[in-house]
C-alpha cells in the first residue's frame, strides 16, 4: 500500500509542479505588467466557464484531442511527428475539395470526405516515414520541411483558376462549398452547437487505447519504441513498424479539424488555424500519451485559449496565455525528466538494498 501511494505521489507531482511553476512564471510577468495575478486567473476561470464558451471550448477540444492522439501514436514509437500541421491542413483541404466536387447521398458522402482526409494525412506522413526508414533521416527535419511545402501547395492550389473560389463577401480564398449531404449535424446543448464529430474523436481515443494495449500490433509498436534492437531481435519488422506508425499518426492528423469542416465551415479556407503540430505534441506530453490524459489536457488548452480574449478587454495582453502554454510545455517535460531520474535512483537504491547483503554473504561463502 505504501509503495502504491508513493508511486501515485511521484506520478502526480510532476504535472502539479509544472503547473505551479508556470503559474508562478506568469504571475511574475503579470506583476511586472502591473496586473494582480490572482484576479487575472479568476477572470480566466470565470469567463472560460460561461456556458456558451464551454461549447466553443469543447469543439476546439475535439481538434486538439485528435492532434494530441496523433502525436501520442508517434511518441509511443519515439517518433516526433512535428508534421501534424502540414498533414492536417493538406488532408482537410483535399477532403474539402473532394467533398465540394461530389454530391452523393449522406451515407456515402460523409465517409468519402472523412476517408479522403485520413488517406491524404497518412500519405503525406508516410513521405517522412519512408525517409526515416530507408534513408535514416530524422523525421523532425523532414516534417518541418514538409509542413512548409504543404502550405505552399495549398496556397498554390487555392487560387481561383485552380481548385479554389473567391469568397462572396470577402477576398478570402476557399474551396467550393460541400453540398448539404456532406454536412454533419451539430448537437444543441447548453445554448451552443456541439459538433457531432466528438463521437468520432471519442471512438478514435478508444481505438487508440485498445489497439495499443490489447493487440499484437500495439505490443509490437510499444516494443519497437522501447528498444529498436530488442524488438528486431525478437522478430518484429521494426522498420516496417516505424513506417506504419508514422502513417497512422498522419491518418489521425488528417481527422484534426474535420469537425469544423463538416459541421461549421463546410469549406476549407486559409482561416483554418495553423500550429496544431506543436499543440498536439504538447498535449501528448502533458497527457503522458494516455487517451484520457490527453482529453483533459486538450480541454485545458482550449479553455485557456477561449478565455484569452477577455484579458485584452481588461488591459492585460492576451499573449500571457501563449507564454503560459510555452512555460507549461517546458516545465512539464522538465519535471517529468527530473521525477524520472529521482524515481530511478530510488529504485536503484531499493535494488541495492536487497542485493547488497546477498553479495556480502556470497563473498563470505567464497572465503569459507
Partner 1 sequence: MSTLKENRLWRIITSPSRMMLTVAGVVILVSVVRQFTGISDITSPGAAGATIRFTIPLLMAGLGGLWAERSGVINIGLEGMMILGTWFGAWFGYLYGPWVGIFAGAVGGALAGLLHAILTVRVGIDQAVSGLAINLLGAGTARFLSGVFFIGAGGDVNVSPQVKSISSFTVPGLSPFLTSLGQKHILVISDVAGVVAGFITSINWASLVMILALPLTSWILWKTRFGLRMRFCGENPSAAESLGVNVYRTRYIALAVSGALAGLGGAYISVVVTGNYLEGQTAGRGYIGLAAVIFGNWQPAGVLAGAALFGLTDALRVRQSTSVHALLLVVIVLAAVYSLTKLRKKDWKGFGINLGIAVFVLAYYMINKVVPDEFVTFFPNLTTILVLAFLSQKLRPPAMAGAPYRKGEES
Give the residues lining the site for partner 1 (CB under 8 A). 29, 33, 80, 82, 127, 131, 135-138, 140-142, 144-146, 148-149, 151-153, 155-156, 278, 281-282, 285, 317, 319-320, 322-323, 325-327, 329-330, 333-334, 337-338, 341
Q: Which is nearer to partner 1, 223 or 311 (CB)?
A: 311
**Coil, helix or strand at residue 173:** strand
Residues 6+ apart with CB under 8 A from 84: 67, 70, 71, 249, 250, 253, 256, 276, 277, 280, 281
Q: Which is nearer to partner 1, 75 or 183 (CB)?
A: 75
Count of Cβ atoms closer than 10 Å to residue 212 Cβ: 18
Q: Which is nearer to partner 1, 186 or 279 (CB)?
A: 279
- Grid cell, residue 289, equals 500519451
Q: How far is the CB of 342 from partner 1 (least distance, A)?
A: 13
- Grid cell, residue 108, equals 456515402
Q: Give CA–CA dist 165/150, Å, rounded.
A: 19
Q: Give CA–CA dist 364/186, Å, rounded.
A: 76
Q: Which is nearer to partner 1, 190 or 333 (CB)?
A: 333
Q: Closest by alpha carbon to 259, among 54, 49, 66?
A: 66
Q: How far is the CB of 34 from partner 1 (least distance, A)?
A: 10
Q: How far is the CB of 141 from partner 1 (least distance, A)?
A: 7
* Three-state helix/strand/coil letters over 285-333: HHCCCCHHHHHHHHHHHHHHHHHHHHHHHCCCCCHHHHHHHHHHHHHHH
Q: Which is nearer to partner 1, 104 or 153 (CB)?
A: 153
Q: How far is the CB of 331 from partner 1 (least distance, A)?
A: 10
Q: How far is the CB of 81 from partner 1 (least distance, A)?
A: 10
Q: Give CA–CA dist 227/337, Å, rounded.
A: 19
Q: Closest by alpha carbon to 337, among 24, 76, 82, 18?
A: 18
Strand partners, 189: 192
Q: How far is the CB of 221 from partner 1 (least distance, A)?
A: 19
Q: Which is nearer to partner 1, 55 or 286 (CB)?
A: 286
Strand partners, 193: 188
Q: Which is nearer to partner 1, 263 or 325 (CB)?
A: 325
Q: Which is nearer to partner 1, 18 or 204 (CB)?
A: 18
Q: How far is the CB of 93 from partner 1 (least distance, A)?
A: 13
Residues 6+ apart with CB under 8 A from 96: 113, 175, 178, 261, 267, 268
Q: How far is the CB of 115 from partner 1 (least distance, A)?
A: 27
Amino acid at each position: 500500500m505504501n509503495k502504491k501511494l508513493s508511486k501515485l505521489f511521484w506520478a502526480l507531482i510532476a504535472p502539479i509542479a509544472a503547473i505551479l511553476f508556470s503559474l508562478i512564471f506568469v504571475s511574475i510577468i503579470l506583476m511586472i505588467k502591473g496586473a494582480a495575478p490572482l484576479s487575472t486567473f479568476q477572470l480566466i476561470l470565470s469567463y472560460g466557464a460561461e456556458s456558451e464558451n464551454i461549447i466553443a471550448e469543447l469543439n476546439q477540444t475535439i481538434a486538439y484531442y485528435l492532434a494530441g492522439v496523433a502525436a501520442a501514436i508517434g511518441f509511443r514509437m519515439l517518433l516526433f511527428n512535428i508534421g501534424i500541421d502540414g498533414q492536417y491542413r493538406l488532408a482537410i483541404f483535399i477532403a474539402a475539395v473532394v467533398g465540394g466536387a461530389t454530391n452523393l447521398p449522406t451515407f456515402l458522402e460523409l465517409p468519402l470526405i472523412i476517408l479522403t482526409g485520413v488517406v491524404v494525412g497518412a500519405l503525406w506522413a508516410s513521405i517522412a516515414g519512408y525517409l526515416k526508414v530507408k534513408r535514416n533521416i530524422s523525421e523532425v527535419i523532414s516534417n518541418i520541411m514538409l509542413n512548409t511545402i504543404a502550405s505552399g501547395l495549398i496556397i498554390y492550389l487555392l487560387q481561383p483558376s485552380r481548385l479554389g473560389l473567391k469568397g462572396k463577401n470577402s477576398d478570402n480564398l476557399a474551396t467550393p462549398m460541400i453540398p448539404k449531404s456532406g454536412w454533419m449535424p451539430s448537437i444543441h446543448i447548453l445554448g451552443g452547437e456541439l459538433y457531432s464529430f466528438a463521437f468520432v474523436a471519442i471512438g478514435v481515443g478508444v481505438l487508440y487505447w485498445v489497439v495499443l494495449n490489447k493487440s499484437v500490433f500495439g505490443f509490437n509498436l510499444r516494443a519497437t519504441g522501447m528498444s529498436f534492437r530488442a524488438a528486431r531481435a525478437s522478430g518484429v519488422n521494426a522498420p516496417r513498424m516505424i513506417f506504419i506508425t508514422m502513417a497512422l499518426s498522419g491518418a489521425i492528423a488528417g481527422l484534426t479539424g474535420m469537425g469544423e469542416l463538416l459541421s461549421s465551415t463546410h469549406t476549407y479556407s486559409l482561416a483554418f488555424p495553423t500550429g496544431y503540430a506543436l499543440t498536439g505534441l504538447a498535449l501528448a506530453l502533458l497527457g503522458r500519451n494516455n487517451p484520457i490524459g490527453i482529453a483533459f489536457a486538450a480541454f485545458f488548452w482550449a479553455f485557456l485559449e477561449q478565455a484569452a480574449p477577455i484579458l485584452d478587454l481588461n488591459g492585460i495582453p492576451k499573449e500571457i496565455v501563449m507564454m503560459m502554454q510555452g512555460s507549461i510545455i517546458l516545465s512539464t517535460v522538465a519535471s517529468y525528466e527530473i521525477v524520472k531520474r529521482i524515481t530511478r535512483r530510488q529504485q536503484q537504491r531499493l535494488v541495492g538494498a536487497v542485493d547488497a547483503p546477498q553479495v556480502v554473504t556470497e563473498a563470505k561463502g567464497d572465503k569459507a
